[in-house]
Amino acid sequence: MSDSHRIRVGIVGVGNCASALVQGVHYYSTKEILPYRTFIGQYRADSIDFVVAFDVDKRKIGFSLRDAIFQLPNCCMDISRDVQNGPLYRYGGPVLSAPILDGVSQHMRATSQKDTERYYVDNTSDDESVGMYAPAYGHNSVAYTTQDVDKYANILHHYQVDVLINYLPVGSQIATEFWASVCIKASVNMVNCIPVFIASNPQWSAKFANAKCTIVGDDMKSQFGASVLSQMFQELAESRGHKVLVHIQQNSGGNTDFLNMCNQERLKSKKISKENVLKHHGSEPDFLHAGPSDYIRHYKDTKVAHFKLDLLGFGRAPVTLDAKLEVQDSPNSAGVVIDALRYAVVAQQKGIYGALEGPSAFTQKSPPKQMSLSEAIQSCDALSSM
């Protein structure tokens, strides 16, 4: 670790979530303190420096991170636009070219450039070098080599990265495994914010432990989002003696995340991950559905979630809950990630390696061990106070 008082962060995928995170760190470093978990160990929001990032979009590669986060197709609300005037050492890490692998769905490559709020590849050629997506090392293969892993591990070493955040699009199985391998090679901690099951896979967890680094994952659970609200509905019903017969959660949004998930093949792991949140109580609903339903471009970074629960109460009396949640999707994730990356570093400093159960259960949908919210908070507090 480069400086015991700073956390040097790398980001894979400079989309809306990265924008909210970088702006949010600046906001809570200059205007007010975090409203929750101001300290984890010795670290606050203003302990975080963003030293390098990776992307495949030519509109972002070559920019400093503090400028790249405002490039199209990002549509995150402005939290702290003056981050662009913030110090380079904190927010100005370069955005470097990354391997595409399976990180870009074919339907994203083929979407028209003419609509500037959509997603932007010249569809006149199959060669990504003609469009917006830039091959990182001269080929467009979905495979990677040990030399590729070594190359990016050396980059992480060069920038003295302490923790790497994975913000790749849903469905990026090979690309996520590649970046996990890079972190293991470089002994860099990882926060896996997407539903590719790394932290929850014992084999991958063991690899991180052997490399004496940590991983928090998988699939970020927003601060007050659809998944944590579904979890609370489920826990409340069961703790009050009600049987959950039906639990339906449907989500719509208009950012690149939702557009990417229009490809049903890329959506499989997301649906599994969202439903994992509700399956650890031992009384799974008779009918369970949780997952994205519609891409509605008009919503941009607004996410709209609808919930329907059918319960059986005392004397088998029926109870029905219908609810709606509307949030700004990317800012809703940022505070949780600020927590996750601090837990990853604190645990490593304390000699705790591999997948972190408590921080993963608190911040992620598919952790290595599902916990109730209160259990996850207790585990996190115990780690922070050790």
> What confidence score (pLDDT) does residue 337 get?
97
pLDDT in tens, 28-59: 998 777 777 899 999 999 999 999 999 999 99
| 91: number of Cβ within 10 Å | 24
pLDDT in tens, 73-118: 999 999 999 999 999 889 999 999 999 998 887 777 655 343 334 4
> What confidence score (pLDDT) does residue 302 get?
96
What domains are defined for the chain?
7-221+331-385 (3.40.50.720), 226-329 (3.30.360.10)
Structure-model confidence comparison of residues 143 and 227, the more confident one: 227
Average pLDDT over residues 276-293: 73
Q: Is the pLDDT of residue 119 over 50?
A: no
pTM exceeds 0.85 for this model: yes
Tokens of 358: 């408590």
